[in-house]
Amino acid sequence: MASQASPLMVFLIQNSQNRDGAAIQAKLDELIRVSTARNSFVGIEHLTDEELDDIRSRCERLAKVEKSAKRPSN
């Protein structure tokens, strides 16, 4: 009986995690939509891994530029 319940429990846990992930994604999309954030980020979870890596790299470069621009001059 326990061996039969294990796959069912795994399925239920994964299903719950997928619903939670989808709900979080919808909330993030709404926050992006109503804020000054770039709307181009809405829906990026559907991109390929390569496209996501490209976006991540561009964001990291922009963050470094912005961080260095905020440093006080000596």
What's the chain's average pLDDT?
83
Q: Which two tokens stand for residue 36?
A: 């000054």
Residues whose CB is less than 8 angstroms from the CB of residue 25 and which lie 6 or more positions away in sequence, other chains included: 45
pLDDT of residue 73: 60
User: How much is the average pLDDT of 31-50?
Assistant: 84
Query: pTM for the complete prediction?
Result: 0.52
Break the chain into its structural domains and give their ranges: 1-42, 46-74
Q: Mind listing the pLDDT tens digit for each residue in 1-24?
A: 667 778 888 888 888 888 888 888
